[in-house]
Amino acid sequence: RHQTRAFLRERSAGTIAPPIIVPFEKDSEHLSAWKPESWRQRKAHQQPNYTDSKSLTDAVDIIARMPPLVFAGECRNLQSRLAKCATGEAFLMQGGDCAESFSQFSANSIRDSFRVQLQMAVVAMFGGGVPVVKVGRMAGQFAKPRGDIINGQAFTANARVPDPMRLVQAYNQAAATLNLLRGFASGGYAGLQRIAQWNLDFMAYSDQGGAYMDLAKRAGEAINFMTACGLDSRTPIMTETEYYVSHECLLLDYEQALTREDSTTGLWYDCSGHMLWCGERTRQLDGAHVEFMRGIANPIGVKARPLTAHEVSDKMDPGQLVSLIATLNPENTPGRLTVIVRMGADKLRDNMPRLVEAVRDSAQVVTWVCDPMHGNTESVAGFKTRRYDRIRAEVEAFFDVHEELGTVPGGIHLEMTGDNVTECLGGGASIDEGDLDSRYHTHCDPRLNAEQALEMSFYVASRLAQ
Ligand code: PEP
Ligand code: MN
């Protein structure tokens, strides 16, 4: 069986020829026609139907005068990190709620989600030996066709009318979330000396919590050794961490209002988040979302669910994917484009190879990421849920397929939380059907809880270590 790391070592030793990168011909006429509002000429799917256009204009004007949430230089840093994920020199761990909500907004749950992501990164770095790029589905992941950013959740006709002022509330919540995350990332909380203190209280007696503490102890010894060797314990790699935020680029009024021209480069950045991705339902080549996203300079992602052999639908086929990549990343810039594959383990084994081969044969550089959540949703005892075993099987298939093809698994994209919820079945904690109604809190899709997410990171580490 092909071993990814061995392959990369051989490639860097020069025994395997590097891929030939053929620059795509730039369609400059097409590009120069781009403006932050040019998406308005195309069909925008999945947008709310705002009836009060005056109030929409007011809301958008307020947001357009607000400061950017992220800065262009940060987006460029993330892009360079994602370029490393494309070659196997780093690994992306992206995760957070399916949808952030207004009612569940709390400092503790932001902290706990961040904390589990720190733990997962340590597990993958210590166990897998590669740098981990941490990206939250946070500080902007509100938009769903009926999320809190659009309408209230009460069961009344009035509450369900899309209210544009909710866009402003979402901006404010994103700003407050990001402010806290920046504090955690650089204010000492995320310092490597605190590695053993990140374990969540309710995890202390769980198998995964125990496994984490064993690993943290060994990592702590390694840090002490390096400090004894002269590593400066005040160096930023010891005291802070890099953390980025991302969300689905869905509500184009909101995204356009936060799109700003970067004074250093003259490029346009969507300053609502470092990374934006295009959802499975809005990635039509001639649609408004693709038009908007091709013009922003942030690193971007695109969800891909493939066409199975006997299906006739709008699901992704290899030719479509190659065209989409050429449109979104015409200069073939490494790190610019992440392809987030989501299809269920069996379909992935059958169908992902065709996508990966087509992209490879077109010499397109993308970062391949596995979203093992959205192809594994089922209904059990009246709850929308997912089984840990199926999720893990999809991640396994993702690594296997890349190994067989000699291509690079660049990361995973999870719906997860630091809270002790019971939304997904199974895992070491054995959440069963009867547990679902005990702590089923999600606002949208079911998330891995802290223990299940950590368990997944041990599995990922085992694959990265090969
Ligand atoms: C999601 O990420 O929550 C989502 C809806 O995914 P997709 O666009 O892949 O269906
Ligand atoms: Mn979801």
What ipTM does this complex have?
0.98
- What is the Rg, in whole angstroms, of the alpha carbon atoms belonging to the chain? 22
Q: Which ligand sits nearest to residue 386's alpha carbon?
A: 2
Nearest atom in ligand 1 to 137's CA: 2
pLDDT (mean) for 163-185: 98
Determine the Cα–Cα distance for residues 401 and 429; give it in Å rounded to an integer: 29
The pLDDT score that the predictor gives to residue 25 is 44
Structure tokens at 376: 């594994």
Task: Report the distance separating Cα 259 and Cα 252, nearest Å.
Answer: 10
Per-residue pLDDT, averaged over 145-155, amounts to: 92
What residue owns the CA closest to ligand 1's atom 10? 280
Centroid of ligand 1 to alpha carbon of 81 (angstroms): 23
* % of the chain exceeding 90 in pLDDT: 84
Mean pLDDT of the chain: 91
How high is the pLDDT of residue 33?
Answer: 87
Burial 52-75 (b: 16+ CB within 10 A, else e): eeeebeebbebbeeeeebbbbebb
Question: Can you list the alpha helix ranges (DSSP code H) found in 42-150?
Answer: 53-65, 72-87, 107-128
CA atoms of 252 and 254, how far apart (whole Å): 5
Whole-number pLDDT of residue 35: 96
Return d(Cα 260, Cα 305) in angstroms, integer: 31
Q: Which ligand is nearest to the CA of 375?
A: 1
pLDDT in tens, 24-77: 444 555 556 899 999 999 999 999 999 999 999 999 999 999 999 999 999 999
> What is the pLDDT averaged over residues 265-290?
96
Ligand number with the minimum distance to the CA of 246: 1
Instruction: Give the rounded distance of the alpha carbon of 415 from its chain centre.
Output: 9
Has residue 21 got a pLDDT over 70?
no
Ligand 1 center–CA 374 separation, angstroms: 6
Sign of CA dihedral 153, 159, 163, 169: negative
Ligand 1 midpoint to CA 253 (Å) = 19
What are the C-alpha distances in Å from 232 to residues 121, 241, 254, 335?
22, 16, 44, 31
**Residue 309 above 50 pLDDT?**
yes
Q: Which residues contact 100 (CB under 8 A, 6 or more apart)?
A: 138, 139, 140, 141, 142, 148, 173, 177, 443
CA of 30 relative to ligand 2 center, distance in Å? 33
Q: What is the pLDDT of residue 205?
A: 80
Quick one: residue 363, left, alpha or beta (phi over 0 = left, psi -120 to 50 = alpha)?
Answer: left
